[in-house]
Amino acid sequence: MTPQDVKNKQCIIFLLIALGFVGLIGAHEVAVNWPSVEDDTTIITVPFILAAAGTLCFVAAGLLARKLMKGGVSR
């Protein structure tokens, strides 16, 4: 793996970590500041989707970092 490939993968990892934080913070903000409506399902669903997306970003970043530490993809 070339140094440029490693740098690109590191940038992707950092981007996924940032998106993970955005998803979790966004879920908290939506849950706290959601206007009161009659439909309770929406109040629970939107923050859950944001939190799940943030968590998946963290998982993807971890798996990509693990692959990068092992030496990348075999060609």
- Say if residues 70 and 12 touch (Cβ distance below 8 Å): no
Question: For the whole model, what pTM was predicted?
Answer: 0.81
**Exposed, middle or buried, 32 (CB in 10 Å: 0-12/13-18/19+)?**
exposed
Alpha carbon distances (Å) from 6 to 19, 55, 62: 20, 24, 15
pLDDT in tens, the chain (75 residues): 788 988 999 999 999 999 999 999 999 998 888 776 666 666 778 889 999 999 999 999 999 999 999 876 554
Compute CA distances 35 → 25, 27, 30, 47, 48, whole Å.
17, 14, 9, 13, 16
DSSP class of residue 72 equals S
